[in-house]
Amino acid sequence: MNIQAVYHTRTGHSRKIAGAIARALGLEAKDIKDWPEDGQADLLFIVGGIYGGRSDTKLLNFISRLKPGSVARAVLITSCASGKDGQAQVRQALEGQGVPVGKREFICPGNFLFFRRGRPNQKDLADAADFALRVAGKA
C-alpha cells in the first residue's frame, strides 16, 4: 500500500507531528509545497492546524489541486489549541473531490499564546504515531 503523509504548518507543530507519524511508518513527510504534480497515495495522512476556527487556505487550495483519482483515502490529523477542533473544511473539500475521509480524526493539542504550553509534547507525538500505525494496519 502506498502510504503518504503531508502537512501544512504556520508555527511548526504540524511538521513535528507529521515527522513523528512518518518515522513510525517508515516514510518521509512532505510539506504540501513539495507534493509532486503526479503524486499518488492509497492512504494520505493530512496534518494541519486551525487558525481562527478555520483551516489555512493554502491547505484547502492544495486539496482543490489534487488530481482526480490520485488519492484513494485520506485521514486527518489536526493540531489546535482547543484540542477539539477538527479540520471540517479540509474534510468537506476532500469529500467534494470524491476522496473518502476516515471518520476518526486524531486531534493533537498545540500551543498558542498561553494555551497548551509545551504541546505537542513527546507523548502527543507518540500518540499521533500510534494512531497512524493503527489506521495503516501496522500496529
Ligand X SMILES: Cc1cc2nc3c(=O)[nH]c(=O)nc-3n(C[C@H](O)[C@H](O)[C@H](O)COP(=O)(O)O)c2cc1C
To ligand X, the closest distance from the beta carbon of 111 in angstroms equals 6
Is the CB of 4 or the CB of 79 nearer to ligand X? 79
Question: How near is the Cβ of 62 to ligand X at its closest, in Å?
Answer: 14
Distance of alpha carbon 109 from its chain centroid, rounded?
13
Residues in contact with ligand X by the rule CB under 6 A: 9-14, 49-53, 79-82, 85, 110-112
Q: Which residue is nearest to ligand X (CB)?
A: 110
Q: Whole-angstrom Cα distance, residue 4 to residue 77?
A: 13
Closer to ligand X at the Cβ: 40 or 127?
A: 127
Nearer to ligand X, 22 or 42 (CB): 22
Give whichever of 3 and 49 is closer to ligand X, judged by the CB atom.
49
Distances 22 to 52, 54, 129, 134 between C-alpha atoms, Å: 28, 25, 8, 13
Q: How far apart are the first and last CA of the chain?
A: 15
Enumerate the β-bridge partners of residue 101: 74
